[in-house]
Chains A and B, each alone.
Chain A
Amino acid sequence: MNDQEIVQLIQQKDFRGLEALIDLYSCSIRSMIRLILNHPAEKTYLKEVENEVFYKIWDKIEQFDETKSSLGTWSVKIARNLALDKKRQIIRNLKIIPTEFLPETPECDEYLEREQFLELVAILSAEDQLIFLKYFFYQDKPGDIAKDLDLDPAIIYNRLARGKKKLKDALKNGKDRDSHENVF
């Protein structure tokens, strides 16, 4: 069964489409979820996220655009986003405190609140979010993160530095916008 047939069956709410999707892409989806939720505290959420991923594919199949990506890529992207959402939620629920706060200026004190930090992280790319969450919340060493993501440790340091700058800018812009709004 090809992608087009699978999509058509799922659109008709025919479970044979789901069966074919699982046959072709379940391994990639599962691997992506496990890659992101790989800490001991997150293991119990694997099944929950997996269910949510397949349900989202089933429910939002109308949004799939074959001109933009293949069904496999689209499905894995959904898995990645949901797993990252869950990772943030777990961090929030476990009240894990980031080990290193990004901005070093006193004006940014309020930014140090966890909720805000987690919201800000969401502006980064999916891979950078994962690196940030692993590094700041789970205190993973850059070497371990590099091993998990199959990247060079230098790239991890680079991404962390680049991400910090991006978050700082975003925070600054947010501050400027707020003070501008207050004037008017």
Chain B
Amino acid sequence: MKTSFKKVFDQLNDDLLEKNDLSANEKKQLFDETKMYIFIQDFLKKLTPYLQEDEVIQSYLPLTNQDNSAIMTGGIMGMAYARTPDARAYLNTFHTVRGNRLLIFTDQRMIFVVVIDFLEDHTYFSYPYDSIKSFMLKEHTFGYFDWANKDGLRKQDSYYTFDFQAGNHVFTEMLSPEDAQIFQRQLQEIDGLKHVLITDKAKRNNWLDRVFSNVTLHIRLLYGVTILAFLALFIYLFLVLLAAFDIGPLKDEIVFGLIAIAAKIPPLYSLWI
């Protein structure tokens, strides 16, 4: 990525050389940006009839599959239909399915749109501000090894869980740190959001939702089950290792088990005997 220092000198060079045309790369970049701008303007035009007459859009929070937010629209969750001409055109032009989502903040509510779903069957989700008691906005940090970097191998990164309940609807998304910053700014600027409590726990209106509509809890359970599974596997392998030295509680079972397996394969059995 070019730094602002380089960009300024690029501009100065253009002026000095009285550049008469853009390079092929610049044209390609301009085309890609313009194409997206035109698409967004048309998309917002299509959304306008779904707003109330006196409703005013105050801000947008666009979400894409960048950083660690792809979990919500990747794999199976990223699949969608594209049967209408609009949805097909979008798919063919931008080569993305459910990656582009949009959270719209109006003066009355939040509207969540997955672009391709809206183009396909005009699906959108509406969350009036007065139906939201609290937002969960929790940062999760994680470390990883950057093998390409010789100086500092260990790196840290983070993502945010954004979760709330509005009436009977539960909304959960993963935000990149930049998206979380934009959202925090919107919390301060949009009047309708100022009363909403910010917590680091998912709040639900009843216990059924607390258990079954709580992605944070499900992820924790998944972590727990995974750790237990690995622990069980490790203990089993340890006992098998002990049995190989004819010690431990599994020594008989393992030996008999191996004989039983070998008996099914005659050459192995003869070798064993």
Contacts and interface: CB of A to CB of B under 8 A. Distances in A.
Interface string A52-83: 00110011000000000000000000000000
Nearest to A30: B22
Interface of B is mostly: helix
Interface string B21-39: 1100001001101110110
A22 B37 contact: no
A54 B22 contact: no
A19 interface: yes
A26 B27 contact: yes
Contacts, number: 35
A23 interface: yes
Interface centre among B22, B27, B31 (most CB of A within 10 A): B31
B37 A54 contact: yes
A30 B21 CA distance: 10
A59 B30 CA distance: 18
A16 to B, nearest CB: 10
A168 B139 CA distance: 62
Interface size band for B:
10 to 19
Interface of A is mostly: helix
A54 B41 CA distance: 11
A84 B19 CA distance: 23
B93 interface: yes
A51 B20 contact: no
A27 B38 contact: no
Interface centre among B21, B34, B37 (most CB of A within 10 A): B34
B37 A51 contact: yes
B202 to A, nearest CB: 39
B33 A22 contact: no
A58 to B, nearest CB: 5
A18 B32 CA distance: 10
A15 interface: yes
A9 to B, nearest CB: 13
A55 B41 contact: yes
Interface string A1-26: 00000000000000100110011001
Contacts of B35: 15, 18
Contact of A27 (B20, B31, B34, B41): B20
B102 to A, nearest CB: 18
A30 B33 CA distance: 14
A27 B93 contact: no
B196 to A, nearest CB: 31
Nearest to A13: B89
A55 B35 CA distance: 9
A18 B31 contact: yes
A55 B33 CA distance: 11
Given A27-B20, A55-B41, A18 B27 contact: no
A48 B34 CA distance: 10
B15 to A, nearest CB: 9
Contact of A51 (B19, B34, B93): B34
Contacts of A15: 31, 35, 93
A-B interface, 9 closest residue pairs, ranked by CB to CB distance from nearest: A51-B37, A54-B34, A27-B21, A22-B31, A19-B31, A58-B38, A55-B38, A55-B41, A15-B35
14 contacts: A15-B93, A18-B31, A18-B34, A18-B38, A22-B27, A22-B30, A23-B27, A27-B21, A51-B34, A51-B37, A54-B38, A55-B37, A55-B41, A59-B41
Given A22-B27, A22-B30, 12 more contacts: A15-B35, A15-B93, A18-B34, A19-B31, A27-B22, A30-B22, A50-B34, A51-B33, A54-B37, A55-B37, A55-B38, A55-B41
Interface of B: 19-22, 27, 30-31, 33-35, 37-38, 41, 93
